[in-house]
């Protein structure tokens, strides 16, 4: 079984400042991001939520191979190209494929109900 790394829910928001204020009331704290670029990652315990204004149309599940829930590098992880190959060999359709031979990369797919899933490796 493949490990997909850190998990977060990426939300497409209309007003990032209002969304930050709302999620802070639920106990989330700013963990990472660039507000001037309209994206922020919030954390509550091990739960991560990304807020993205004007960057994509739908909410999506996001996985980061090579990271734990604190964005710390894992010593061992399955490279994104191997994950993509494994999924394709099982008949999973990839919407946008990895284009590089090494290093940071991402690919997207959809679950059977059309929910987008981003696999995004940063190293």
d(CA 32, CA 10): 13
Q: Looking up tokens 């090494």, which residue turns up? A: 102
Render the burial of 67-101: b for 16+ CB within 10 Å, e for the rest.
bebebeeeeebbbbbebbeebeeeeeeeeeebeee
Predicted confidence (pLDDT) at residue 1 exceeds the cutoff of 70:
no
- From the list 14, 105, 112, 89, the residue with the least C-alpha distance to 97 is 105
Tell which wins on pLDDT, 101 or 48.
Answer: 48
Predicted confidence (pLDDT) at residue 2 exceeds the cutoff of 80:
no
* pLDDT of 119: 94
Q: What is the mean pLDDT of residues 40-62?
A: 95
**Continuous H helices in the chain:** 16-25, 80-89
20: confidence class by pLDDT, cuts 50, 70, 90: very high
The DSSP letter of residue 39 is E
- Domain residue ranges of the chain, discontinuous segments joined by +: 6-121
d(CA 77, CA 8): 17
| Third-level CATH fold of 6-121 | 2,3-Dihydroxybiphenyl 1,2-Dioxygenase; domain 1 (3.10.180)
* pLDDT of 64: 93
Predicted confidence (pLDDT) at residue 101 exceeds the cutoff of 90:
no
Predicted confidence (pLDDT) at residue 56 exceeds the cutoff of 70:
yes
pLDDT digits (tens, 9 = 90+) for 66-79: 998 888 999 899 99
For the chain, percent of residues with pLDDT exceeding 70: 98
* pLDDT of 107: 95
């Amino acid at each position: 079984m493949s490990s997909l790394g850190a998990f977060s829910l990426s939300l497409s928001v209309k007003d990032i400042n209002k969304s930050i204020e709302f999620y802070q009331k639920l106990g989330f704290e700013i963990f990472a991001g660039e507000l001037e670029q309209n994206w922020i990652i919030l954390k509550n315990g091990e739960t991560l939520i990304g807020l993205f204004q004007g960057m994509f149309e739908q909410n999506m599940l996001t996985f980061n191979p090579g990271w734990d829930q604190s964005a710390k590098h894992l010593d061992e992880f399955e490279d994104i190209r191997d994950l993509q190959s494994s999924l394709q060999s099982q008949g999973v359709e990839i919407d946008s494929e990895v284009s590089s031979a090494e290093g940071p990369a991402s690919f997207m797919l959809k679950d059977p109900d059309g929910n987008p899933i981003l696999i995004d490796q940063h190293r």
